[in-house]
């Protein structure tokens, strides 16, 4: 039966004779949940949550197949030790009617990880350094190439033995197979380099080795970047030529298309494109490949965060399946809600990259700032209903308060949320007002929807005070009263024109044309305010209390933002500590040399300085003996991620 709203999205399809119940898959992505290189309980719980949510197919994260790249924190398929975890994952797929595909992988020159803290030897077709990780690879010998080809087949054989439905070769994101294809990186003069046929030899041999090991029944696909989006990367023309040749070979069953490369700063931004990029834009590139691929289905992934976008890509013929990673990190029930036509209930990914790839790049399990249950399924995977409902008052309607209220209400408590402002959302409302950051407001939309679904009584324009709370006779109060801007007491502050960053964002500050933005946070606040003022026509100097602007942002967000500031002519001053100011100058100190940094001819100093927690209500209520919990910035000023996590913890614990 055709789905009335998303007919293409929920049409079944076949790969190698195996039916897939819909056109949505979860592409492979590193979860940082592997246990000693193997799949354990945490990773299984993570994948099962998405399987229960209705997805049609799931890819494992990459499994390393050769001893030249087996770093800590990566899954691997180099021995039979991988079989128990893969077998359990395959059984989960069968139990939930989901196809499971394993990824076999070698990064080549972009071997960024380490085994013991030393920089490992990177191996590549030729000794061409990469920009991102600063590796100078050793050229692969012919014997080592053959060994790596064989290792791909052996890893695939283990995946077949474990009961997986198929295997995917990684030739995407600037990894080893794509390095062989790329004439700018492959400078060999043997039968693995030079001509197009020679540059295709490695990927063809890998595909043949896998097919010979797994037989004719298993799905074998290839993931490739349609465009690596940088000057030295594969172009769409080169990828089209390779895709057409692979299609004609008849060995592979599908082509899985992404964008970007891990080898360059520009290419990295397109691997996990953040909110500055248009939703669904990789569909244009997959459509260009689909024009030359006539036999294999074409899959696409990247920045697809709504079922309407996925349906449109399929309807226009841009792809045959759509991959949604971050959408499923934010909402494991994405597909189920779309199928039930509950689109407004989908917790749409906002493209912030903070807790998903941001966590993974720092070695921590991936999660989501909106849905911290992700990556913590073993702890928070099932909501525990209460046996004795209580009356819970939540003071404050920022992200912490909204999450606490929604979770407590879902568990069965009577929950009233009081927010002093006319609109709930807290600092997220400021964040969404910055250039290119409107999507950040989705965190408020999504959390308010959760509150509405679970029956939270949200009252705005109502201040929470002991006088208003005590007569309500609550059993417990959750204080999520947030923080306010701090203002340092420095010499000359009463002489200069000084305004806060929040007032600039809100549009209530009178800002001149020559501005210094002092950014203590080294996060999105200073970058966003600097961009806003520069776009408003100001001459802007951004002084950062750290080694780089955006130091505490995910690198792909920071790097893209720095490019925008460079185009806008913003002068960035690093390692700066604010010391004082007067009518025309801002005085700073280099944080390590101690030498002065002086900015003259300044009309306005904009402060993005440490916030001050608002915990007065909690302090008063604790004195009365009332059960009272303190969360988010009211506990200690940090980010929305910590606020939502503590809201989850409080709502789960009351």
Ranking 11-20, 371-380, 489-498 by mean pLDDT, the lowest is 489-498
- Torsion angle of the four alpha carbons 223, 227, 229, 235, in this order, in degrees rounded to the nearest 10: 130
Listed in sequence order, the residues at least 6 apart from 602 whose beta carbon sits closer than 8 Å to its beta carbon are 496, 514, 515, 516, 581, 584, 585, 586
Mean pLDDT (whole number) for 402-408:
98
Listed in sequence order, the residues at least 6 apart from 95 whose beta carbon sits closer than 8 Å to its beta carbon are none
Contact 232, 185 (CB under 8 A): yes
Angle at 542 between CA 536 and CA 544, to 5 degrees: 150
Contact 49, 347 (CB under 8 A): no
pLDDT, one tens digit per residue, over 272-331 is 999 999 999 999 999 999 999 999 999 999 999 999 999 999 999 999 999 999 999 999
Residue 425: count other Cβ atoms within 10 Å of its Cβ. 22
Per-residue pLDDT at 314: 98
3-class secondary structure, 23: coil
Reply yes or no on whether the pLDDT at 215 is more than 90.
yes
Per-residue pLDDT at 205: 98
Mean pLDDT (whole number) for 246-267:
97
Angle at 406 between CA 48 and CA 480, to 5 degrees: 120
Ranking 108-117, 122-131, 175-184 by mean pLDDT, the lowest is 108-117
Reply yes or no on whether the pLDDT at 112 is more than 90.
no
Per-residue pLDDT at 74: 87
Per-residue pLDDT at 207: 98
3-class secondary structure, 434: coil
Reply yes or no on whether the pLDDT at 70 is more than 90.
no
Reply yes or no on whether the pLDDT at 113 is more than 90.
no
Per-residue pLDDT at 211: 98
Reply yes or no on whether the pLDDT at 632 is more than 90.
yes
Give the C-alpha separation, 541 to 538, whole Å: 10
Reply yes or no on whether the pLDDT at 535 is more than 90.
yes
List of domains in the chain: 13-379 (3.20.20.70), 389-485+637-653 (3.40.50.720), 498-609 (3.50.50.60)
Contact 501, 485 (CB under 8 A): yes
Reply yes or no on whether the pLDDT at 85 is more than 90.
yes
Q: Measured in whole angstroms, how far is the alpha carbon of residue 470 from the centre of its chain?
A: 42
Indicate the average pLDDT of the chain. 97
**Ordered alpha helix ranges (H), 67-195:** 83-96, 142-162, 176-181
Angle at 287 between CA 298 and CA 199, to 5 degrees: 65
Q: What is the CA radius of gyration of the chain?
A: 26
Q: Of all helices (H) and strands (E), which one includes residue 15?
A: strand 13-15
Greater confidence, 244 or 116? Answer: 244
Reply yes or no on whether the pLDDT at 117 is more than 90.
no
**Strand-by-strand arrangement of the 576-581 sheet:** 576-581, 586-590, 596-599
Reply yes or no on whether the pLDDT at 71 is more than 90.
no
Contact 102, 168 (CB under 8 A): yes
Mean pLDDT (whole number) for 249-253:
98
Per-residue pLDDT at 88: 98
What pLDDT band is residue 644 in, cutting at 50, 70 and 90?
very high
Mean pLDDT (whole number) for 180-196:
98
């Amino acid at each position: 039966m055709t789905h009335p709203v998303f007919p293409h999205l929920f049409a079944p399809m076949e790969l190698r004779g195996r039916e897939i119940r819909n056109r949505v898959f979860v592409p492979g992505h590193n979860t940082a949940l592997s246990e000693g290189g193997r799949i354990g309980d945490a990773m299984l719980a993570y994948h099962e949550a998405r399987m229960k949510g209705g997805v049609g197919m799931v890819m494992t994260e990459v499994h390393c197949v050769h001893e030249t790249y087996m770093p800590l924190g990566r899954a691997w398929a180099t021995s039979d030790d991988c079989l128990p975890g893969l077998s359990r994952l395959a059984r989960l797929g069968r139990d939930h009617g989901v196809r499971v595909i394993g990824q076999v992988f070698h990064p080549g020159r972009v071997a960024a990880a380490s085994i013991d803290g030393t920089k490992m030897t990177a191996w590549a077709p030729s000794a061409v350094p990469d920009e991102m990780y600063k590796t100078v690879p050793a050229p692969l010998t012919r014997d080592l190439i053959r060994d790596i080809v064989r290792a791909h087949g052996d890893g695939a054989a283990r995946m077949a033995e474990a009961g997986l439905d198929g295997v995917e070769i990684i030739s995407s994101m600037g990894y080893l197979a794509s390095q062989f294809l790329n004439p700018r990186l492959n400078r060999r003069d043997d039968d693995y380099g030079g001509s197009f046929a020679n540059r295709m030899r490695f990927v063809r041999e890998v595909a043949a080795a896998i097919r010979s090991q797994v037989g004719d029944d298993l799905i074998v696909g290839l993931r490739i970047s349609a465009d690596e989006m940088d000057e030295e990367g594969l172009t769409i023309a080169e990828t089209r030529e390779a895709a057409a040749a692979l299609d004609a070979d008849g060995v592979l069953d599908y082509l899985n298309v992404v964008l970007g490369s891990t080898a360059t700063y520009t290419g990295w931004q397109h691997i996990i494109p953040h909110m500055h990029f248009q939703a669904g834009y990789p569909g244009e590139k997959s459509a260009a490949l689909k024009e030359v691929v006539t036999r294999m289905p074409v899959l696409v992934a990247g920045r697809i965060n709504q079922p309407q976008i996925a349906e449109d890509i399929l309807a226009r013929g841009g792809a045959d399946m759509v991959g949604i990673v971050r959408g499923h990190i934010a909402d494991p029930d994405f597909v189920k809600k779309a199928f039930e036509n509950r689109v407004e209930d989908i917790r749409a990914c906002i493209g912030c990259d903070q807790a998903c790839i941001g966590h993974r790049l720092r070695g921590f399990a991936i999660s989501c700032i909106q849905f911290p249950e992700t990556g913590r399924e073993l702890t928070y995977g099932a909501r525990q209903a209460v046996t004795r409902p209580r009356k819970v008052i939540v003071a404050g309607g920022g992200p912490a308060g909204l999450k606490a209220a929604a979770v407590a209400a879902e568990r069965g408590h009577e929950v009233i949320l009081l927010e002093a402002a006319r609109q709930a959302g807290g600092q997220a409302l400021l964040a969404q007002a910055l250039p290119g950051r409107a999507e950040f407001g989705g965190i408020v939309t999504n959390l308010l929807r959760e509150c509405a679904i679970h029956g939270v009584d949200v009252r705005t324009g109502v201040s929470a005070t002991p006088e208003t709370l005590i007569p309500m006779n609550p059993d417990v109060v959750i204080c999520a009263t947030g923080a306010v801007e701090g203002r340092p007491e420095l010499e000359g502050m009463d002489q200069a024109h000084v305004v806060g960053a929040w007032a600039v964002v809100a549009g209530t500050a009178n800002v001149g044309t020559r501005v210094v933005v002092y950014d203590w946070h080294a996060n999105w606040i200073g970058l966003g305010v600097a961009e806003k003022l520069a776009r408003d026509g100001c001459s802007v100097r951004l002084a950062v209390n750290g080694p780089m602007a955006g130091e505490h942002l995910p690198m792909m967000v920071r790097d893209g933002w720095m490019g925008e500031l460079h185009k806008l002519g913003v002068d960035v001053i690093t390692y700066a500590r604010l010391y004082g100011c007067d009518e025309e100058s801002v005085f700073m100190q280099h944080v390590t040399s101690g030498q002065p940094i002086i900015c003259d001819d300044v009309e306005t100093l904009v402060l993005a300085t440490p916030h001050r927690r608002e915990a007065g209500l909690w302090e008063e209520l604790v004195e009365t003996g009332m059960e009272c919990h303190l969360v988010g910035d009211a506990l200690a000023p940090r980010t929305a991620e910590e606020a939502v996590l503590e809201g989850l913890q409080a709502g789960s614990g009351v």
